[in-house]
Structure 1
Amino acid sequence: MGTSNDHDAPPSTLLQDLNVTVQKSSMVFPSKEIERKSLFLSNIDKVLTFDVETVHFFGAHKDFPPHVVAEKLKSALEDALVVYDFLGGRLKVNNDTKRLEMDCNPEGAGFVVASSGYRLDQIGDLDYPNPAFAQLVHKNKDFLKQGDVPLCVAQVTSFKCGGFAMGISTSHTTFDGLSFKTFLDNLAALAANKPLPVTPCHDRHLLAARSPPRVTFPHPEMLPISSHLPHSPESTNIFDASTEPLHFNVFKLTSSHITKLKQEATCGTTRVTGFNAITAHIWRCKALSADDNPNRSSTILYAVDIRSRLNPPLPKSYTGNAVLTAYATATCQELEEGPFMKVVEMVREGAARVTDEYARSIIDWGQVNEGFPNGDVLVSSWWRLGFEEVEYPWGKPRYCCPVVYHRKDIVLLFPPVGGGDGVSIIVALPPKEMEKFHGLFYKFLR
């Protein structure tokens, strides 16, 4: 991004209504009989009961018009519900343990075929966080009976040009980002009648709490529900939707911007990662855009994959949520006046803190407490997950993005349209805070 005016306002071509018409809604059932059983959910899984919605855009393909894609995708999903036997099931509370579980049953996933009245090139910049993209993911889950909530719903929406969007909504209890990428790879292979590239590991007892639980570290990054006071800004669930009006924007860092941030943060031989530099940059901008109190403490949260950090390590094919929130805390004065390398170092130290014992301690904390992550900004990185690299029979996606949600404290990192080493940063803030964030974002890049 060369100037500070590139994304001051939504693109003039932004459509607020994609003119989507649902042609057919149905259920998809496992292609083979599956064993009826209950699947244990870890303490990480069981707090992530909200849906994750992604949209994958594809250009026209002469051999795969949208109706053929819909048929192949539906068939592939039927086979996927055998491999991922919990995905066609439902969440339920175990009457004996009072824990949330997945009831692996053949009730099925949702499948929707829809069409838009526009061409793909008419709906605007694909990487702009357009709330209208929510029309490409099906919201109404009452497919067969009132109150039924499938864990997975897929929607294929065709555009007038022959291109299409594949919208997928899954309960976050089913996958984290890495395991969802594996799911997409497997789904693409099933659609092409190829062997599965990865056999998923569904044993979520690998992240069960110890008995008895041993909380061996303080966990200020978690807030027990018992201390959640209504209307207290210090105790807001970061996953809650905001009630105030928000502006959505995308900020783009080129590879040269990222290199500059890394150089500014480099001291001696310590290696600075692009993620740590970007996260520190976002932290400064978000904290200082909130208010002018230099003594206010700000805590940033960011996801850390624990698969390789545990002893023994989790299988890379582990299906559930194997991500914890690392944290760093500083005053706004430290963030504004201190050296940038210090801010980056705090982010690095936060991630380094998540060892095997620390991860086990926080999982055990979740056994003793009901609670949620506690901070004033969460950076969720989809930057290197590789959704856009999935090879479907009809080719790779032109772009993949989340459906933006009304949460002002979650910042998303995503790869730019067309690939490359840059990053797109999706931000939602109240108008005045967005204005300050925008100014700080480019001020700190100079």
Structure 2
Amino acid sequence: MDGMVGTANPQVPPERTVAVWQAMRRGPRRFLLSLWPWRCWAYALSGAVIGAGALFALALLVAMGVLFSIVGVGLAVLVLAALFGIPVGALERRRLRLVEPAPLENPHALLRGAGGVRRLGVRLRERATWRELAYTIVYGVVFAGSGFGVMLGLLFAGVLTALPVLVVLLEPGSVMILDRPVSSPLEALLPAAVGLVGLAGCAYAAALLAGAQVRTAEFLLSGRAEERRVVELTRSRARLADAFEAERRRIERDLHDGAQQQLVALSMTLGLAELELNGSGSPAADLVVRARGEARQALSQLRDLVRGIHPQVLTDHGLDAAVAEVALRSPISVTVDIELPGRLPGAVETVAYFTVTEALANAAKHSGATGITVAGRVRRGTLVLTVTDNGRGGAVPSDGTGLQGLADRMAILKGRLMVSSPVGGPTELRAEVPCSA
């Protein structure tokens, strides 16, 4: 029997409104006298320069990739061109803060600790990478050109507005408008008024352009609705797992510092009472002896319970030492073969440890096995853990063996749990947990 042990429905965030378009609706006076026109002009000018440069660099990479394909390195250059949209997208998500206070989420998966080859493969398979490449092309062709147009209009309107000052500062007759010299500041007042209207028009044009670019960036540079659902679901499950872990540690601390210490004190008190009654011939002596034995048994069970909640050896010495300790307590012979490059993230160690303990408990109860092997390695940033027994097989993961809950916790870390248990055996449980999750 082979099996893979694996939702919620969070609300999709409402579509955000564009801040610069909201500012335009407040009326010309409030909009034009605010900082919004300056922010939009700065956004358009920087976008025109960066967009043109990005488009030129992308075209150069593609041309070099096609040219160098003859000598065998063109594919690497084309891969670099495919990934070129990632830094452009990251820069645009930052630059967008000029006109949009609400930040865009990074649509890429976090790959802390992943190797270069694995990181490259993940990025090439992500849809966000190709959407960012599309944004780079649209950005360089449409928005960069529009930004240059707005800046040219702004430059012309600014010169007209400053015309009276230029007439005063320069020699009379040296300033020309439509091939006609402007000899006095009074003659420059009408062009200056046209320039002021032009500045207002450029402010609105830059705001419209910025809003359109914000919408395009939201569509291409942030996660889609389905991706946002997955992100929010993963985050909510991670928060629940963190809360569960914190509550479990609190219970462990309370049991260790409270009930366990009280049982130790009770056992010592009963021991003193036993010494007092020893040799007295009182019938209460036997009761005290029995009570002390039950207190010791309760203390031993409580210590096992505390150790099962979160073993101290896992916290102090890591996964390999914790698994070796639990293997010594197993009624079946267990061979441990775990080699790790160092300490793993706490969440990974915890879920891996309880996967091993659950597998050993199931094997002892149901498999009839005489030997179990536990192996663990880190391969390309992923912990691969296998627990194999030589029992009768036929295990069904969904039959309430506790593996479903472990698989749910593992899914929070983007891991997976697989069980292979054909009738007649052997049974193999395989867990894969990304250490970068």
Give TM-score scaled by structure 1 length.
Answer: 0.23
Give TM-score scaled by structure 2 length.
Answer: 0.23
Q: Considering only CA atoms, is the larger Rg found in Structure 1 or Structure 2?
A: 2
Would you tell me which structure has more helix in proportion to its own residues? 2
Higher relative contact order (CA 8 A, sep 6+): 1
